[in-house]
Amino acid sequence: MPMPRPLDAPTIALLGRAFGPDLLYDEAALSARSSDESGLAQAPAAVLLARTEAQVSRLLELANAHGFAVTPRGAGTGLAGGCLASPGGVVLDLTAMNRILNIDSRSLTATVQPGVLTGDLRSAARAKGLFYPPDPASLGTCTIGGNAATNAGGPACVKYGTTRDYVLGLSAVLPTGELIRAGVNTRKGVVGYDLARLLVGSEGTLGVITELTLKLLPHPRAAACVAAVFADLGAAMRAVIGIMARGHLPSAMEFLDARCLKLVGDLLPFRVTGGDSALVLVETDGDAEQTAREVADVEGICRELGATDLIPAATEEHSREAIWSVRRSVSTRIHEACAVYIPEDIAVPIGRIADMVAALPQVERRHGVTIYAFGHAGDGNIHLNLTAPDAALRPQVEAAAEDCVRLALGFGGTMSGEHGVGLAKRGLLPLELSPVSLRLQRGLKALLDPGHVLNPGKIFPPDEPEEHP
Amino acid sequence: MPMPRPLDAPTIALLGRAFGPDLLYDEAALSARSSDESGLAQAPAAVLLARTEAQVSRLLELANAHGFAVTPRGAGTGLAGGCLASPGGVVLDLTAMNRILNIDSRSLTATVQPGVLTGDLRSAARAKGLFYPPDPASLGTCTIGGNAATNAGGPACVKYGTTRDYVLGLSAVLPTGELIRAGVNTRKGVVGYDLARLLVGSEGTLGVITELTLKLLPHPRAAACVAAVFADLGAAMRAVIGIMARGHLPSAMEFLDARCLKLVGDLLPFRVTGGDSALVLVETDGDAEQTAREVADVEGICRELGATDLIPAATEEHSREAIWSVRRSVSTRIHEACAVYIPEDIAVPIGRIADMVAALPQVERRHGVTIYAFGHAGDGNIHLNLTAPDAALRPQVEAAAEDCVRLALGFGGTMSGEHGVGLAKRGLLPLELSPVSLRLQRGLKALLDPGHVLNPGKIFPPDEPEEHP
């Protein structure tokens, strides 16, 4: 298999002739595309700030002809290093392809370019009474193309599913430079193999998405939010399961463990006393009367199941926002508090969250690290933030992260619910995927990318001779 | 590429030794697995009534070693011939692998074997307060494995999505006989390529699903149903779009055109007078007060948008069933009324349904056929039943069916919303998929099934040298 080579000066000159001012290679341009939110970094040798699908196609043709690597990139908000350049490779920046081409309020679809910000799409849909549900925490800054490439999730996924469930069809440039349309423009379609969903979540390794047709819903007319404190995480999780057991399907069900709750306790309208207390945050949506009634039911269930404190239900957008700010400020405060931190993203069956979190103190003791747990209780997706106060302890934090992955797998879970593998978790892949699965997945990669030029070195374990040394 | 050969007597004897009484080759057993609901038929040379995954694996190993074809089959309720044997091949009957292994009410998942009837799964979930939404019309007789293999839909998909959206993970036997686990047991997962959804909808050509982990929801506590007649289909579709534009997301939104409505008019509590009248059927679910209020809103919107008659809202299960029986009796009555009929399954963007149906009279005149249109208005999936009174007119009906597919594609649609390609539509595939897409899909097939033994001859156009002559 041909390995991508670092760009040499003649090839950079050739790219300059092909793309003119859209090819960037000044230090600032390279530096601005050298990292994401994973803490990892790698500067590219050049950047194509693509304006058209034809440019994307041409770049990949040239990559195959000249043997260099191309890594597509949106806003760089990923947490797994999936958009980081190959050493000496080209970053294909798609943020300038950022037009909302159409929001069709009769067919309830949006057609967008990949660089559109997720929040902008949500706002444009809402202005027409429509709803694009996926809501990754970075929705104000992340791109819809990046969301599709990683199958991004968010709190609303417990009711509405992930990005994958909203991609009806897409246009993409294959690693060979060929153009393809996959999926449909309709709400249903079953003609041939599901290439659209093979590309969604493939972390930019199987194709470059250049246009998306997305499913929209009627916008819910109201929402209501409540937060409840429980004596410990076991009680909190019993409440989460109890809410669903009584027939409620909230539009968000988040939790914070005791450590996280302490970090944000000052944002609550009461003082949390118990040292093991955990917070559950529930939002429901629908029509106004229903959401009011449902959130009152949820309050009742929480009280019945032992809630020690409640932030009363909020229906106005700004008061809901006040509750959500408690949840959103957790990550920032962890960053501020800790010199080293690794954001893990395991998911376990909902019924095993409490077991998973109960196993964490042993990991902390074994490695001398501190773990903060919060996330999407309603779908079992726990953001574990493994931390240490001193950068020298990074190896211990990494070892603890691997232990957490093994624990999650032992509970029937997965190492990543929504962040993806990228560079950060590729070494752990054989813990989760069988040799048969890995071989088949490598076969898919080779089938679509025979020149091995598109985002090489991602997803698959690095012990294989895949990357340029 | 090795082509599958018809089974010869020594190979049948070898299979008999391998599988004992689970290998069937008496006339009755072969005949019982020789057709589906497409109207097409092909008897296999032998049937394996599989009891275990190990048997499935062994059969595929033998198929590769001896070069015969294997076609997996559930209940045979498909409408596209996807489960019909290759000439001289083996049918792999999975209906005896029919155990519900687990319904986990804490994690809201079901683990099932592929031969479980969809209706049985829905009932078992409901008994625990849980909901498995996909509801193909054949739910009382079809299997969940077949639903997954075809990504089956149904009326509830407008709100809840298709089978694909409920398959969290699966076990499968690859065409080589190797075992694989794909996807996760959790509600979210993004590790590696999405092999689970590559297998879902692949019509039994890429692997044999032997176990499924399915997502369940809390069961809605109530539902309500209303039916409204409009002067013509354009008015009916304006009502469908109007209902969603006002923020309602019904759990079903079906329609019958004027011809269908005449066939079932005697089931309605009033006499339909206008010759162009069309029926819209809307169901909402949620809690009791909300569904009652919502269905009253829907009635109001229908009246405002010109409904000429209404079947009043029904909330009790038996009165809802009476309304649904109007919808469900359409297919049967078309069968009874027509000597030839081809069930097409196009989907168009919701906003184009009225345009699509308006174009049908011209197709009828051109070919001298009669077309009945009904289906899933809320997601643009129209079941066109192309009919003629005399079997000799079958070529005309087929030509009209192709015209309808071309029309649907012209409106931005697809040739199949939920039935699949199988044998029935494979010749039309190049109308919808580009040469690049077809080549890539053939490459996927060859990658997973290098011996070309699993359900050969399906999906792909027959003009290629794929099948045994």
The pLDDT tens digits of the residues spanning B111-149 come to: 999 999 999 999 999 999 999 999 998 999 999 999 999
For A245, the closest of B129, B206, B420 (CB atoms) is B129
H/E run at residue B102: strand B100-104
**Any idea which of A194-198, A306-310, B53-57 has the lowest mean pLDDT?**
A306-310
Token couple for B42: 């092909």
**Which residue is associated with the tokens 């339909």?**
B272
Asked if B226 and B191 sit in the same domain, the reply is no
- Residue B91 sits at φ, ψ, to 5 deg, of -95, 130
Among all residues of chain B, which has the CA nearest to that of A105? Answer: B245
Q: What percent of chain B has pLDDT over 70?
A: 98
Q: What are phi and psi of B250, to 5 degrees?
A: -65, 160
The pLDDT value recorded for residue A275 is 87
Nearest to B186 among A200, A201, A413 (CB): A413
Q: What CA–CA distance (Å, rounded) separates A204 from A78? A: 12
Q: Higher pLDDT residue, B240 or B4?
A: B240
Is A276 exposed, middle or buried (CB count within 10 Å of its CB: 0-12, 13-18, 19+)?
middle
Weakest mean pLDDT among A397-401, B194-198, B465-469: B465-469
For residue B466, the tally of other CB atoms under 10 A from its CB is 18
The predicted pLDDT at position A469 comes to: 33
Mean pLDDT for all residues in chain B: 94
Three-class HEC string of A277-318: CEEEEEEEEECHHHHHHHHHHHHHHHHHCCCCEEEEEECCHH
Check whether A467 has a pLDDT greater than 70.
no
Confidence of residue A443 (pLDDT cuts 50, 70, 90): very high
Whether residue A434 is predicted with pLDDT greater than 70 in this model: the reply is yes
Percentage of residues of chain A with pLDDT beyond 90: 85
Residue A435: enclosing H or E segment and its boundaries?
Answer: helix A435-448
Sign (positive or negative) of CA dihedral A437, A439, A440, A444: positive
Name every chain B residue with its beta carbon within 8 A of the beta carbon of A448: 440
Residue B466 has pLDDT above 50, yes or no: no
Are B104 and B191 in a shared domain? Answer: yes
Whether B447 and A443 lie within 8 Å, measured CB to CB: yes
Give A189's contacts in chain B (Cβ within 8 Å). Answer: 347, 414, 416-417
Mean pLDDT of the region A394-416: 97
Q: Residue A148: which domain range?
A: 100-218
CATH number, residue A349: 3.30.70.2740
Residue A293 confidence (pLDDT) above 70: yes
Residue A450 token pair: 């025979």
**A212 and A112 in one domain?**
yes
**B162 found inside a domain:** yes
**A152: Cα within 13 Å, side-chain hemisphere:** 24
Letter string b/e over residues A306-335, b meaning 16 or more CB atoms within 10 A of that residue's CB: bbbbbbebbeeeeebeebbebbebbbebbe
C-beta atoms of A165 and B165 within 8 A:
yes
Q: How confident is the model at residue B78 (pLDDT cuts 50, 70, 90)?
A: very high
Residue of A278, A280, A284 lying closest to A296 (CA atoms):
A284
Find, among B77, B59, B125, B52, the residue nearest to B422 by Cα: B77
For position A1, what pLDDT does the model report?
A: 47
DSSP B452: -
Unique residue bearing structure tokens 């067919």: A107
Residue B465 has pLDDT above 90, yes or no: no
Query: Which amino acid belongs to residue B310?
Result: L
Among A187, A202, A218, the domain-final residue is A218
Measure the CA–CA gap between B275 and B273, rounded to whole angstroms: 6
CB A222 within 8 A of CB A291: yes
CA-based nearest distance B249→chain A, Å: 6
Q: Which residues of A touch B418 (CB under 8 A)?
A: 188, 190
C-alpha–C-alpha distance, residues B402 and A435, integer Å:
44
Q: How far is A204 from chain B (nearest CA, A)?
A: 11
In this structure, of A241-255, A401-415, B14-28, the range with the lowest mean pLDDT score is A241-255
Q: Which residues contact A309 (CB under 8 A, 6 or more apart)?
A: A228, A229, A268, A270, A272
Q: Determine the length of chain A.
A: 469
SS3 of chain B: helix, strand, coil, percent, to 5: 40, 20, 40
pLDDT range class, residue A464, cuts 50, 70, 90: low
Q: A3 versus A449: which is more confidently predicted?
A: A449
Residue A49, phi then psi, degrees to nearest 5: -90, 90
Statement to judge: residues B351 and B286 lie in one domain? no
Q: B347, A447: Cβ pair inside 8 Å?
A: no
Whether residue B206 and residue A218 make contact (CB cut-off 8 A), yes or no, is no
Q: Is the pLDDT of residue A213 over 90?
A: yes
pLDDT surpasses 80 at B426:
yes
Cβ distance B222 to B315 under 8 Å?
yes
Exposure string of A236-245, with b = 16+ CB inside 10 Å and e = fewer, is: bbbbbbebbb
Q: Residue A350: is its pLDDT beyond 50?
A: yes
Among the residue ranges A190-204, A340-354, B200-214, the one predicted with the least confidence is A340-354
- Evaluate whether residue B187 is within a structural domain: yes
Q: What is the pLDDT of residue B325?
A: 84
Residues in B touching A249 (Cβ below 8 Å)? 217-218
Least Cα distance to B191 among A461, A446, A248 occurs for A461
Comparing CA positions, the residue from B107, B190, B93, B174 lying closest to residue A437 is B174
Question: Which residues in chain B are closer than 8 Å to A186, comparing Cβ atoms?
Answer: 347-349, 379-381, 412-414, 417
Mean pLDDT of A417-433: 96
Instruction: Measure B161 CA to nearest chain A CA, in Å.
Output: 8
Per CB-CB distance under 8 Å, the chain B contacts of A185 are: 349, 412-414
What average pLDDT does this structure show over B178-203? 97
Give the span between the Cα atoms of A462 and A458, in whole angstroms. Answer: 8
- Smallest CA–CA distance, residue B51 to chain A, in Å, is 23
Most confident range, picked from A63-77, A252-266, B305-319: A63-77
Contacts of B361 (CB under 8 A, 6+ apart): none
Q: Specify the 3-state DSSP secondary structure of A405.
A: helix
Question: CA-based angle B391:B396:B401, to the nearest 5?
Answer: 110
Closest residue in B to A247 (Cα) is B218
Locate the chain B residue with the closest alpha carbon to A445.
B193
Residues A114 and A194 in one domain: yes
Q: Which residue has the tokens 């920032």?
A: A332
For residues B386 and B401, is the Cβ–Cβ distance under 8 A? yes
Residue A430, C-beta contacts closer than 8 angstroms, at least 6 positions apart:
A438, A461
Does the distance separating the beta carbons of B182 and A190 come in below 8 Å? Answer: no
Spell out which residues of chain A touch residue B134, defining contact as CB-CB under 8 Å.
none
Q: Which of B449, B467, B465 lies closest to B457, judged by CA?
A: B467
**Rounded CA separation B149/A50 (Å):** 39
User: B38 in a domain, yes or no?
Assistant: no
Query: Does the structure show a pLDDT above 80 at B385?
Result: yes
Say whether pLDDT at B469 is over 50.
no
DSSP code for B283? E
By C-alpha distance, the chain B residue nearest A188 is B417
- Taking residues B425-436, what's their average pLDDT? 96
Say if residue A136 is in the same domain as residue A212: yes
Kindly report the nearest CA distance between residue A235 and chain B, in angstroms. Answer: 14
A299 domain-assigned: yes
CB contact under 8 A, B413 and A185: yes
Provide the residue type at B318 as one letter.
H
Residue A344 has what pLDDT? 93
**B414·A191 Cβ contact <8 A:** yes
d(CA A173, nearest CA chain B) in Å: 11
A247 plus A145 within the same structural domain: no
Q: Please state the domain count of chain A.
A: 3
Q: Mean pLDDT across the stretch A322-339?
A: 86
A442, part of any domain: no
pLDDT over 90 (residue B102): yes
A83, part of any domain: no
Q: Give the Cα separation of B200 and B207 in Å (integer).
A: 9
Q: Average pLDDT in the A115-130 region?
A: 98
Mean pLDDT estimate for chain A: 94
Residue B192 shares a structural domain with residue B253: no
Selecting from B162, B191, B197 the residue whose C-beta is nearest the C-beta of A414 gives: B191
Contact B189 A129 (CB under 8 A): no
CB-based contact B192 A286, cutoff 8 Å: no
When CB atoms are compared, the residue of B350, B381, B432 closest to A106 is B350
Instruction: Report the gap between the CA of B24 and the closest CA in chain A (Å).
Output: 31
Q: What is the mean pLDDT of residues B197-218?
A: 98
Q: How far is A326 from chain B (nearest CA, A)?
A: 24
- A207/A212 Cα distance (integer angstroms): 13
Q: How many helices (H) and strands (E) does chain A have?
A: 16, 18
Based on the fold, state whether residues B155 and B202 are members of the same structural domain: yes
Cβ contacts of B191 on chain A, cutoff 8 Å:
414-416, 420-421, 425, 429, 432-433
User: What number of other Cβ atoms are within 10 A of residue A362's Cβ?
Assistant: 11
Sort out which chain B residues have CB atoms less than 8 A from A220's CB and list them: 247
Boundary residue ending a domain (A330, A363, A389) = A330
Q: Are strands B208-215 and B167-173 parallel, antiparallel or unpaired?
A: antiparallel
Rounded to an integer, the average pLDDT of A103-113 is 97
Q: For residues B138 and B117, is the Cβ–Cβ distance under 8 A? A: no
Give the C-alpha separation, B81 to B84, whole Å.
5
Chosen for mutation from A165, A188, A217, A376 (greatest number of chain B CBs closer than 10 Å) is: A188
Say if A137 falls within a structural domain: yes
- Shared domain for A270 and A345, answered yes or no, is no
| Residue A255 φ then ψ, to 5° | -140, 155
The answer to whether B435 and B179 have CB atoms below 8 angstroms apart is no
> What's the average model confidence in pLDDT over B219-224?
93
- Would you state the structure tokens that stand for residue B22, as one six-digit string? 């689970």
Domain closes at, from A330, A362, A386: A330
A200–B198 C-beta distance less than 8 A: no
CATH of the domain at A127: 3.30.465.10
Q: What angle do CA A110, A111, A115 make, to 5 degrees?
A: 110
Asked if B177 and B208 sit in the same domain, the reply is yes
| Between residues A99 and A335, the one the model is more confident about | A99
Helix axes B233-245, B288-304, angle to 10 degrees: 140
Based on the domain organization, do B246 and B152 belong to the same domain?
no
Query: Does residue B145 contact residue B209 with C-beta atoms inside 8 Å?
Result: yes
Determine whether the interchain pair B194/A190 forms a contact, defined as Cβ–Cβ distance below 8 Å.
Answer: no
Instruction: Give B302's strand partners.
Output: none
CA distance B238 to chain A (A): 9
As a whole number, mean pLDDT of residues A318-333 equals: 85
Answer whether A185 sits within 8 Å of B412, measured CB to CB: yes
Residue A222: beta bridge partners?
A286
DSSP assignment letter at B456: T
What is the chain A residue with the closest CA to B428?
A: A191
Question: Does some domain include residue A78?
Answer: no
Confidence (pTM): 0.96
Could you give the CA distance from residue A301 to residue A313 in angstroms, rounded to a whole number?
13
Among B185, B186, B201, select the one facing A190 at the smallest CB separation: B201
Please give the DSSP secondary-structure letter assigned to residue B164. Answer: G
Residues 6 or more apart whose CB falls under 8 angstroms from that of A161 comprise: A133, A134, B161, B165
Pick from A150, A194, A417: CB nearest B186:
A417
In chain B, which residues have their Cβ closer than 8 Å to the Cβ of A438?
192
Q: Are the beta carbons of A17 and A55 closer than 8 angstroms?
A: no
Here the CATH number for the domain that contains residue B311 is 3.30.70.3450
- List the single residue in B129, B162, B349 with the smallest CB-CB distance to A109: B349
Closest CA to B377 of B325, B423, B327: B327
Q: How far is A197 from chain B (nearest CA, A)?
A: 7
Q: Are strands B90-93 and B46-49 parallel, antiparallel or unpaired?
A: parallel
| 3-state SS, residue B442 | helix
pLDDT score for A274: 82
